[in-house]
Amino acid sequence: MLDEYLRKQHEKNGILLMTHIVLGYPSFDASFEIVRAMVDAGVDLMELQIPFSEPIADGPVILKANQKALKRGARVQQCIDFGGKVTEAFDIPFLYMTYCNILFRYGIGSFADGMATSGIRGAIVPDLPPEEGAEYLSAMAQRDLSPIFIFSPTTSVDRLAYLSEHCRGFVYCVARKGVTGQDTEFSEQLESYLQRCRRATSLPLAVGFGVRSRQDVEFLKGKADIAVIGSQTIRLIEEEGIESIGPFIRSLRP
């Protein structure tokens, strides 16, 4: 089970690092080298985003990467094939992140089959709530895959409890309202919110949206289990190239 793996890793490392890439950006060959650089630098698990034309939870940096990947011809089947390639090559858990239109167009059962066959451990689908996801949840459960749901600072206590009933693997806690890539205030207010999340679930907590530095990761240590780094690595790839990724990831460890 994914949560058991994460707990064991957490005992060794104190806080885990999860990174995020957009598949096919800048190209599929480059995506593989980015994965290699991140794994070599010690990340514990990784989100592989299947590009979508309207990624509503993502800010301008990840949106731009989605658009460029699609413009260059990235397709869902290529992404699923890529998932199998990296799970065979690297010994960490990989998850897909995408939006519900992708699942419905591809076929929910077929998508889950592709995940299971490729060795992908779970999926994050931000715009598919449990109320509308019965088929998805059933398909994931049948294949022992983890559906990851999202907590936010505005989620009520009752809603946190409801989402917890359906989540497996870990819970993704967004650090603030809004989309990815913006500034986040690492403060007592964030700590209080994470305490509410902790009371709502026994699963590991991952925190993303605005994690950019070792200082941010150090703040989350003891308050969450996983720090998620997404937009910042894409910025670095654009500005300094893939070779900058390894040193950056290593610099995040407390």
From 3, 44, 47, 216, the catalytic residue: 47
91 is catalytic: no
* pTM, 2 dp: 0.92
Beta bridge partners of 49: 22, 97
Could you tell me the domains of the chain? 2-247 (3.20.20.70)
Structure tokens at 188: 């007592």
Query: Is there a contact between 203 and 3 (Cβ–Cβ < 8 Å)?
Result: yes
From 58, 91, 239, 240, the catalytic residue: 58
Structure tokens at 205: 């907590």
Separation of first and last alpha carbons in the chain: 27
Query: Is there a contact between 180 and 158 (Cβ–Cβ < 8 Å)?
Result: no
Query: Is there a contact between 128 and 149 (Cβ–Cβ < 8 Å)?
Result: no
From first to last of its 254 residues, the chain has per-residue pLDDT tens of 899 999 999 888 889 999 999 999 999 999 999 999 999 999 999 999 999 887 776 778 888 998 999 999 999 999 999 999 999 999 999 999 999 999 999 999 999 999 999 999 999 999 999 999 999 999 999 999 999 999 999 999 999 999 999 999 999 999 854 344 344 456 678 899 999 999 999 999 999 887 889 999 999 999 999 999 988 899 999 899 999 999 999 999 86
Q: What does the pLDDT read at residue 182?
A: 43
Q: At what angle do helices 76-89 and 108-118 cross, to 10 degrees?
A: 20
Q: What does the pLDDT read at residue 176?
A: 53
238 is catalytic: no
Query: Is there a contact between 196 and 157 (Cβ–Cβ < 8 Å)?
Result: yes
